[in-house]
Amino acid sequence: MKETLQKFFKMDRRWIFLVLAVVLFVPIMRPLGLPNKTISRDARNAFDYVDALKPGAFLLLSLDYDPSTRPELHPQAVAVIRHAFKKNLRIGVVTYIAGSTGLIEQIFETVPKDYGKVYGTDYVIFPYMANAAAVMTQMSSDFYGIYDKERNGKPVRDMPVMQGIKNYRDMALVVNITGTSILDWWVAFVGDKYNVPVVGGCTAISQPGYGPYLQTKQLKGLIGGMKGAAEYESLVKEPGKGTSGIDALNLAHLLVLALILTSNIILLIIKHL
């Protein structure tokens, strides 16, 4: 009996992989429609901060994620952009991850059309830049010193969307959605240094790490993982990929719990045998 039970501990982990694959695959193919019951305080704060901005305010959106973290972060970005367009905010998009450029294109291919927004008047996309920390510092004195052209090489200084924008002081908010430490840099190099409010979006795995910044209000709000995206979508009332991923997320979490419980029950039985 003991030996049989101990086999569970030495089980080939690929069995666990298989179970997880099934648990994730089924609800993606056949959505169960489980509800997204609560909205976390941090996601609500993020929403409230964007919501309180006056129409015409300039929002600098730093989208720094590549396809790897796309399932979690892309819905967040879409939800924030939809919210900003609904509120008639101006958007400037920057990125410091080369892999983001294609994903940014994908968002702006469709979303602005839903709100009748025009490139150059309501939003602008800046080219990818390497060395984020250096660029962030440089933008503090003169935005156009680093971004004088948009991604296709057109000068931006005279675009209506950039009217009155010279540096961080003219921006109402910085929103950074990333799976990297670029969010820490926005907080340390820009938020703290130039008193610019920063809202973040991150992967679920890195969410706990931002607790101290949220407590000290260095981050005004945080959208965490796919659940955060679903929460933001429900606040904006625009259900999207985040909401549809909630089923898989629910079941996968419960599978982890079931596994942890099973292993401990087996451990307990072995101890008493």
Question: In this structure, what token pair is assigned to residue 45?
Answer: 């704060």
Q: Is 180 in the site for other proteins (CB under 8 A)?
A: yes
5, 24, 26, 57: which one contacts other proteins (CB under 8 A)?
24
57, 120, 133, 197: which one contacts other proteins (CB under 8 A)?
133
Nearest to 226 by CA among 249, 207, 252, 209: 249
59, 50 Cβ separation under 8 angstroms: yes
Distance CA 97, CA 74 (A): 14
Binding mask 30-69 for other proteins (x = CB under 8 A): ----xxxxx-xx------------------------xxxx
Nearest distance from residue 135's CB to other proteins, in Å? 8
Distance CA 207, CA 184 (A): 12
Q: What is the DSSP letter of 199?
A: E
Q: Is 244 in the site for other proteins (CB under 8 A)?
A: no
3-class SS of residue 253: helix
Nearest distance from residue 61's CB to other proteins, in Å? 18
33, 48, 52, 105: which one contacts other proteins (CB under 8 A)?
105
3-class SS of residue 166: coil
Q: For other proteins, give the closer residue by CB, 64 or 122.
A: 64
33, 56, 145, 160: which one contacts other proteins (CB under 8 A)?
145
Distances (CA, A) of 246 to 71, 136, 206, 232: 11, 35, 19, 13
Nearest distance from residue 85's CB to other proteins, in Å? 19
Distances (CA, A) of 234 to 31, 55, 143, 226: 17, 21, 34, 12
Q: Is 118 in the site for other proteins (CB under 8 A)?
A: no
Q: Is 13 in the site for other proteins (CB under 8 A)?
A: yes
Binding mask 181-220 for other proteins (x = CB under 8 A): x----------x----------xxxx-xx-xx--x-----
Per the DSSP assignment, residues forming a β-bridge with 198 are 174
Nearest to 111 by CA among 77, 78, 150, 72: 78
CA 30 to chain centre: 25
Q: Is 176 in the site for other proteins (CB under 8 A)?
A: no
Residues that bind other proteins (CB under 8 A): 9, 13, 16-17, 20-21, 24, 34-38, 40-41, 66-71, 98-99, 101-102, 105-106, 109, 130-131, 133-135, 137-138, 141, 145, 152, 166-167, 169-170, 179-181, 192, 203-206, 208-209, 211-212, 215, 227, 246, 249-257, 259-260, 263-264, 267
